[in-house]
Chain A
Amino acid sequence: MKDLEHLLREHPFASGLPSAALSLLVGCASNVQYEPGEYLFRTGEPADRFFILRHGEVAVEVYAAGRGRITIETAGEGDVLGWSWLVPPHRWLFDGRAITLTRAIALDGACLRAKCEANHDLGYELLKRVTHVMAERLTSARLQVLDLYGDGSGDVV
């Protein structure tokens, strides 16, 4: 079975990190597993972690009265899930619910923030990587709100 350091090094989020930085990351990491229907996080709770999904799918949801759960995005294998751990007030803005059996590496946000404060080189490296994840999410959200398939632009006539 691969250890956490090996798993993290193979993932694009951590690939290329110097060994010392990777070791610091591993020090804040743990393996977690969620059954279908189980919540990884809930709106308003402290965002004390983020996740690198190794297996399974997670629905990022918001609950709306009268409409029930609305899925905004489905995260899957390989995705990095969560950036609220880095941005005050460090509270989850959405719910994250496992759709299928989900295995992930959980990274402790408070642990990482403390290490980033103490080691700005690590902090800058992590910030670049989290910013990349945020940029991808932002681009996806912008494309989604364009409602591209609803305006006829994909049609011949």
Chain B
Amino acid sequence: MLPVPYRVQRRRQESHDTFTLELSRSGSAPGLEFAPGQFNMLYAFGAGEVPISISGDPARPDVIAHTTRVVGGVTRVLSRLRRGGTVGLRGPFGNGWPLEQSRGRDVVIVAGGIGLAPLRALLYALTANRGRFARIALVYGARTPEDVLFGAELERWRTSADVEIAVTVDRATESWAGRVGVVTALLRRLSFDPANAVGMICGPEVMMRYAAAELLSRGVAPDSIFLSIERNMKCAVGHCGHCLFGPLFICRDGPVFPYERVETTLRVAEL
């Protein structure tokens, strides 16, 4: 439960408000094994602690990457860290994406905005074991072309890892030659085998609900659709109750849930 000091090895500005911190423990301390989809609690000294999904490569436990957006006081302090800076880290917490359940099946990944970050760790794992899966497709929606994250990696996965990637933006200027529209429209055009597909979705909850509905309408089973839900995690171990989501603790029981387990709760406005 105590934060362990980690050093910033690298800081990368992904967009005007989104950045990635690559963290390592000092000296010969062992790396941090994690599953794609898990999160860490990052402690910015003097500011507070926040839960942030791990966006890095699970095969590189010595480099723990976190991609987040500046949305509050803690993330603002984290964004100001530079190489050599120190953060406290607790984790990893929660469960991960259902990799074993996806073996031999089509994997349809739906990302919205910063929701691509925890799915990036998943894509590292999928592409490292490409032969274990049938079709892998990522549909990704961003606000504007300038907000599209991990462009170089998306291109690499597209060209060398046989990942079908479609990107769309909500708004674009004349210089954007890509698609404009919502991710659900991309899902409608995607070719896959619904009876043998697993859907993995991360993004704003409204977008996830519509993406899940689209997958259901295509014939994907409710127990084969997974959502990563992000709420107000504080203790990260299911004690404090801040992230209570109906009968579920997001931090302990999630953050990845089968759609059928959260479908009803997602529609409760008071939660």
Contact = CB atoms under 8 A, between A and B. Distances in A.
Interface of A: 57, 59, 67-74, 76-79, 99, 136, 139-140, 143-144, 146-157
Nearest to B111: A154
Which of the listed residues A72, A136, A140, A155 has the most CB atoms from chain B within 10 Å of its own CB? A155
A156 B210 contact: no
A35 to B, nearest CB: 16
Given A154-B207, A155-B71, A157-B51, A147 B143 contact: yes
B188 interface: yes
Given A59-B180, A73-B180, A157 B141 contact: no
Interface of B: 39, 50-53, 68-69, 71-72, 74-75, 112-115, 141-143, 147, 168, 170-174, 176-182, 184-185, 188-189, 202-207, 210, 230, 233
A150 B112 CA distance: 11
29 contacts: A70-B173, A71-B172, A71-B180, A72-B180, A73-B180, A74-B178, A74-B179, A76-B179, A76-B189, A78-B188, A79-B185, A136-B185, A136-B188, A139-B184, A139-B210, A140-B181, A140-B182, A143-B182, A143-B210, A144-B171, A147-B143, A152-B71, A154-B115, A154-B230, A155-B71, A155-B230, A156-B39, A157-B50, A157-B72
The 3 A-B pairs of least Cβ separation, nearest first, read A149-B113, A157-B50, A153-B204
A112 to B, nearest CB: 23
A144 B114 contact: no
Contacts of A150: 143
A31 B67 CA distance: 48
A73 B181 CA distance: 5
A71 B52 CA distance: 34
Contacts of A154: 112-115, 202-204, 207, 230
A36 B182 CA distance: 23
Contact of A155 (B68, B179, B185): B68
A144 B68 contact: no
Nearest to A99: B177
Contacts of B185: 73, 79, 136, 140
A57 B179 contact: yes
A73 to B, nearest CB: 4
Contacts of A59: 180
A61 B58 CA distance: 42
Contact of B68 (A57, A78, A156): A156
Contacts of B168: 74
Contacts of A156: 39, 50-53, 68, 230, 233
B207 A69 contact: no
Contacts of A99: 177
Which of the listed residues A99, A144, A147, A154 has the most CB atoms from chain B within 10 Å of its own CB? A154
B143 A149 contact: yes
Given A156-B50, A157-B68, 10 more contacts: A68-B173, A74-B180, A148-B204, A152-B69, A154-B114, A154-B207, A155-B114, A155-B230, A157-B50, A157-B75
Contacts of B68: 155-157
B184 A153 contact: no
A144 B179 contact: no
B113 A148 contact: yes
B181 A74 contact: yes
A156 B230 CA distance: 5
A120 B206 CA distance: 39
